Homo-oligomer: A and B are copies of this chain.
Amino acid sequence: MKLSSKMQRCGLSPMRKFNPYATKVKERGIKIYHLNIGQPDVETPAPFFQALKDFDEKVVAYAPSSGIPAYLDAVRGYYKRIGVELTRDEILPTTGGSEALQMTFATILDDGDEVVMPEPFYPNYATSVTLAGASIRPIPTFVEEDYFYADRARVEACINEHTRAIFVTNPGNPTGSILSPEQLKLMLDIAKEHDIFLICDEVYREFVYAGEPLLSGLQFPGYEDNVIVIDSVSKRFSACGARVGCVISKNKEFMAQVMKWCQCRLASATVDQIASAALYGMDPDYFEAVRAEYKLRRDTMVAKLKEIPGVVCGVPKGAFYVMCALPVDDADKFQMWLLEEFNDNNETVLFACGEPFYATPGRGKNEVRLAYTINAPDIARAIDILKIAIEKYNNR
Contacts and interface: CB of A to CB of B under 8 A. Distances in A.
A241 B270 contact: yes
- Which residue, A5, A17, A266, has most C-beta atoms of chain B within 10 A? A266
A252 to B, nearest CB: 12
24 contacts: A3-B108, A3-B254, A3-B257, A4-B109, A4-B132, A7-B257, A12-B263, A39-B59, A39-B62, A49-B55, A96-B265, A98-B266, A106-B131, A111-B111, A124-B263, A124-B264, A127-B261, A131-B261, A240-B267, A242-B271, A243-B267, A243-B268, A271-B271, A271-B272
A243 B269 contact: yes
Given A7-B257, A53-B53, A96-B265, A41 B59 contact: yes
B49 A7 contact: no
Interface string A108-151: 11110000000000001001100111000000000000000000
Given A3-B107, A37-B62, A61-B241, 4 more contacts: A2-B108, A6-B110, A60-B240, A241-B271
A60 B4 contact: no
Interface stretch (A63-71, A290-298, A316-324, A340-348): A63-71
A195 to B, nearest CB: 6
A263 B127 CA distance: 10
Interface string A1-41: 11111111011110111010000000000000000010111
Contacts of A182: none
A197 interface: yes
Interface size for chain A: under 10, 10 to 19, 20 to 34, or 35 or more residues? 35 or more
Nearest to A279: B60
Sorted from nearest, which 8 A-B pairs have the closest CB atoms? A241-B270, A13-B263, A98-B265, A127-B264, A60-B241, A243-B269, A52-B52, A44-B60
Contacts of A61: 39, 240-241
A77 to B, nearest CB: 21
Contacts of A202: none
Contacts of A55: 49, 52
A11 B260 contact: yes
Stoichiometry, as copies per complex, reads 2
A62 B98 CA distance: 12
A131 to B, nearest CB: 6
A95 B59 contact: no
Contact of A195 (B1, B4, B132, B264): B1
A41 B19 CA distance: 40
A250 to B, nearest CB: 12
A189 interface: no
